[in-house]
Amino acid sequence: MTTAHNTAKFEDIAKTVLMPGDPLRAKYIAETYLENPVQFNSVRNMFGYTGSYKGKQISVMGSGMGMASIGIYSYELFKFYDVENIIRVGSAGAYTDELNIHDIVLVDSAWSESTFAKVQAGVENDIQLPNELLTKKIEDAANRIHTPIVKGRVHSSDVFYHEDNVPNHVDFYNDHNCICTEMESYALFHNARILGKKAASILTISDSLVTHEEISAEERQTSLNNMMKIALEASL
């Protein structure tokens, strides 16, 4: 079994996949946390690895940026490789000053103005939900390793750069209760729902649209360790 975007054999990929956006972050997670990681994909440099964490097989694979990209990779993992669980581990921008740089957000819903779900399956909903059981496992894991998290709604945007004449972070926070923004969770949750699989999303605040603080691209790759540990513990 291979696809146009993944050269892995069916048995190469574990039932649970951690999915950062950056393929180099996938490489970092595999080399830092997994025992005996084996690379299963490098098509378009979208690296994927499978290894062992505390005796359990776990895979990690990049998703790329945006819903179109994670839509392809997550769909193939769920549909053609029979992956049961995908946990997005990503970065987000804060919409409120109640969130600080490096805070960890466990997504309880994803709002989007995107047409991804409508085009993919005729679904009109502008809110997609993560799997309750998988989300609860992440929350329990965070509590178990004494790492604080904030639960809330994320804005999954199709656009990174907005012009000044369109709604901004204040509007998204006030009108849709979105506490932060990223670009993938809505599509991931939709794919999981229509395919009868489980998906969840945990994010680290890397910048703030309120205070304009941010961490560097290099720091994003290597400084998200608390979030990664939570996701790995939730995968056991």
Please pick, among 12, 22, 103, 207, the residue that the annotation labels catalytic. Answer: 207
Query: 3-state DSSP helix/strand/coil percent for the chain, to nearest 5?
Result: 35, 30, 35
What beta strand segments (E) does 76-172 contain? 85-94, 104-111, 127-128, 150-156
What beta strand segments (E) does 77-211 contain? 85-94, 104-111, 127-128, 150-156, 178-182, 198-208
Q: What angle do CA 88, 55, 38 make, to 5 degrees?
A: 65
207 catalytically annotated: yes
Q: What is the rounded CA–CA span in Å between residue 80 and residue 161? A: 34
- Which positions are catalytic? 207
